[in-house]
Chain A
């Protein structure tokens, strides 16, 4: 694996020359930052000249050689063949059929899939469930939510054929990944029943206005008023969590208040019970350390890649470098900062995470 950071046409030209000269390269993963996504179509046209399969998405930020970058493009070369497929998510009823058809065509020994999905697609959960149902427990899944931090839905996933909105890209390979997933958040509240929702909006918790319940608990715990600090500034330290038996809490990220409703990045179902979580730099970094240990384990994998949640970055700001330093260890870290993370080594049902660190080695 080698990586290229592009911030000018010259960078692209140089990267393409290097890639062309490297016969081991069989596929490319391409991550475009939100701030540099105006010319993705041209980038796709240029990359097609390499005659290599590539896939990727538009993300809030990227990590190139141990540094986060808010602008530019990251290209990761893969020395294995990757077959990638587009899944359109407009019609809920058709998602399963599309995945079924893809399953019929993938190479029989494929055991890994990169998954990049438009994070603002309303059918994201159906897609993830359908993906696991059809692809199964023998696969390792890695990926995340693509899109812009403006929270407006944009064309955000692409492959050789173009860039797409409300869609997902699946890229299959026959490589063994080692995964580490952890977050470092823990509960500060009792269970709160989600009594009314509308899509990704929570209207009421415990039969009371969700915003009132959430802000009261957070203000009490933080000793800070939302009106003083602004919603996101305070809420980024207080995500919601859903408990499960024998597994880590699934984190859900509240991003704003809209019409007196709590807007969450990923759906929380009516009838669920949620807790309000909190963490600090120590607990989050300890989560990152844990993810790194799980991913490295006893393996001597030489490549390390990271899929980390952009809201961890927004929480840590400049201190996020500490998280990068922990994850990279003695290696060089590249990665992408996503809106929702996907990681599963088939020990559990596939789910989308928020505010979570995923470390992948191969």
Chain B
């Protein structure tokens, strides 16, 4: 059997269904099957008292059920003789027949093979009573009773909340204030308030501020006058709100007269006859309240109405929270964008600077080189051997500096100069590259003959291979040095592998070898930019480069080239 909460939920869902239907026919045809489903019954009948007519029999062939035919008369006569008031249970060897009075309309008979729990009959009778009243009103066009009106009012209020919450869920929050003001208007008009508003609490400086307000026509706005109000003026409000309770005054005129600063003295000059203020609580923190003032006439709030207003307050908190989160994300994104722009600018400036400096250094350096060469040639017979050796060292250093400048220029130009991408085959690139390089005769280089076709800058790709192969040659002391070039692919990338059996790289340097000017060995001819240039070329085309290596056990460089 279901627990009480589930049972009540079932009743509520049926009340919702009944209240959403308008005509007698709709009520009978659409609500009855739902009642049967929810109570696990296989048959149901609605009988009208007006002529003992069966308004519906579900399923149709149940009308021919001989047991029902005999029981029907028995049950109806019991009701007619007023032998029972609210419900009656009749049973035969197979089934239970539950008959409930449908108010003044008639009877609802549910047939099930199971016996309902004793405690559920009263609640089911209440449901039947509600169903019956709706049927009576629909059938005879009667005014709904006051109680029904309240229920209808609550359902309408629920619908309004759904409407507002849907708007809050789907709306763009850029104009949140307008949206909140609109919902204050909708809720205000619904509860027949003349003013609805939101206040925020500032519990640090003990003040409260009116942030949003809606006023009915003819009611003066108060928002301007209600800024930075000391909370001390309204201690009763705060006390209730801290306990997550509504602050509700049904009739202001009945408040005790507590002098100039009393509550009555604050509310009466604003023309307020009754008010309700619901706390807005965000994660246990009281952040404000939403209130409704009745100015023209008093308004009495039922508990259910209050509950629904609490839901509205929660919705306001949620939407404000959402706005706050969105703004925070937006702010972070803006900061990130500025940071990226600055970084990009700084990188460009640095690159331009390196380019300019290298370029400007080149000409004087070549002049110095020429001058030193001339001085040396003109004085070959005058300088002694030591001086000539010093001149040779000067020229060597100048060459080194020239190489360094050319490399830096190249490094700083990778992003600037790029020709139009062309399709080419990497075997061609590797072959060209190897032809141009001075490869010691003892080196064996095995190149897969199935390297892929790629698209990009062929010259740059040649440079990548040159730098990687040169490294593999320079740092190899093996008696049988070997370099292998191969490739693999997946859906997105070609991965190129250059493997050597050289001296390898110490673990602690593996992460650093792609850093500019990083030289692990004192190679006079190296500028320390070979791998950074390779990295920059590969990454500028959306690829990645990395190395796997172990000291004394060779290195394998990998880089990827995107297929698109």
Contacts and interface: CB of A to CB of B under 8 A. Distances in A.
B131 to A, nearest CB: 14
B84 interface: no
Contacts of A260: 169-170
Interface of B: 1-2, 5-7, 9-10, 12-13, 16-17, 20, 33-34, 36-43, 58-62, 112-114, 116, 120, 158, 161-162, 165-166, 169-170, 311, 315, 318
Instruction: Pick from B5, B38, B116 the residue with the most CB of A within 10 Å.
Output: B38
Interface stretch (A241-249, A285-293, A317-325): A241-249
Interface stretch (A9-17, A267-275, A294-302): A267-275
Contacts of A133: 33, 58-60
Contacts of A245: 1-2, 7, 10, 38-40, 116, 120
A129 B38 contact: no
A204 B166 contact: yes
B110 to A, nearest CB: 10
B40 A191 contact: no
B169 A244 contact: no
Interface string A189-217: 01101011000000110011100000000
A349 interface: yes
A243 B10 contact: yes
A242 to B, nearest CB: 8
Nearest to B17: A271
Interface string A133-150: 111111000000000000
Contact of A271 (B20, B166, B170): B20
Contacts of B59: 132-137
State the 3 A-B residue pairs at the shortest beta-carbon distance, nearest first. Answer: A271-B16, A136-B61, A273-B9
A347 interface: yes
B97 to A, nearest CB: 14
B40 A348 contact: yes
A196 B166 contact: yes
Contacts of A129: 33
Contacts of B318: 208
B113 A349 contact: no
A132 B62 CA distance: 11
A346 interface: yes
29 contacts: A132-B59, A133-B33, A133-B60, A137-B61, A137-B62, A191-B6, A195-B162, A204-B165, A207-B162, A244-B38, A245-B1, A245-B10, A245-B39, A245-B116, A246-B1, A246-B2, A246-B40, A246-B112, A269-B13, A269-B17, A270-B20, A271-B12, A271-B13, A271-B16, A272-B13, A273-B6, A347-B42, A348-B40, A349-B41
B41 A348 contact: yes
Contact of B169 (A132, A137, A204, A271): A204
B143 to A, nearest CB: 24
A226 B17 CA distance: 33
A351 interface: yes
B471 to A, nearest CB: 40
A348 B42 contact: yes
Contacts of B170: 260
Nearest to B43: A137
Contacts of A272: 13
Interface in A330-362: 346-349, 351
Given A136-B62, A137-B43, A347-B113, 20 more contacts: A137-B61, A190-B5, A191-B9, A195-B158, A203-B169, A208-B165, A245-B1, A245-B2, A245-B7, A245-B40, A246-B2, A246-B40, A260-B169, A269-B34, A270-B16, A271-B13, A271-B17, A347-B42, A349-B36, A349-B37
A136 B311 CA distance: 44
Contacts of B13: 269, 271-273
A204 B41 contact: no
A191 B5 contact: yes
B37 A351 contact: yes
B12 A247 contact: no
B36 to A, nearest CB: 4
Contacts of B40: 244-247, 348-349
B37 A244 contact: yes
A207 B165 contact: yes
Given A134-B60, A269-B17, A246 B116 contact: yes
Contacts of B42: 137, 346-349
Contacts of A137: 42-43, 59, 61-62
A244 B158 contact: no
A138 B16 contact: no
Contact of A209 (B10, B58, B60, B169): B169
Contacts of B16: 270-271
B308 to A, nearest CB: 9
Contact of A246 (B5, B114, B158): B114
Instruction: Pick from B20, B169, B311 the residue with the most CB of A within 10 Å.
Output: B169
B46 to A, nearest CB: 13
Given A195-B158, A207-B161, A347-B113, A136 B60 contact: yes
A274 to B, nearest CB: 9
A330 B61 CA distance: 39
B280 to A, nearest CB: 15
Contacts of B113: 347
B315 A207 contact: yes
Nearest to B5: A191
A132 B32 CA distance: 13
A75 to B, nearest CB: 33
Contact of A196 (B2, B7, B12, B162): B162
Contact of B2 (A134, A193, A243, A269): A243
Contacts of B158: 195
Given A133-B59, A137-B59, A243 B9 contact: yes
Contacts of B114: 246
B353 to A, nearest CB: 43
B123 to A, nearest CB: 10
A212 B311 CA distance: 17
Contact of A244 (B10, B12, B166, B315): B10
Contacts of B62: 136-137
Given A132-B59, A133-B59, A244 B39 contact: yes
Nearest to B15: A271
A345 B116 CA distance: 20
Contacts of A134: 59-60
A39 to B, nearest CB: 33
B163 to A, nearest CB: 9
Contacts of B120: 245
A247 B112 CA distance: 11
Interface string A212-254: 0000000000000000000000000000000111110000000
Contacts of B43: 137
A273 B162 CA distance: 15
A351 B42 CA distance: 11
A250 to B, nearest CB: 8
Contacts of A193: 9, 12
Contacts of A209: 169
B337 to A, nearest CB: 24
Contacts of B116: 245-246
B10 A273 contact: yes
Given A133-B58, A243-B6, A244-B38, A207 B311 contact: yes
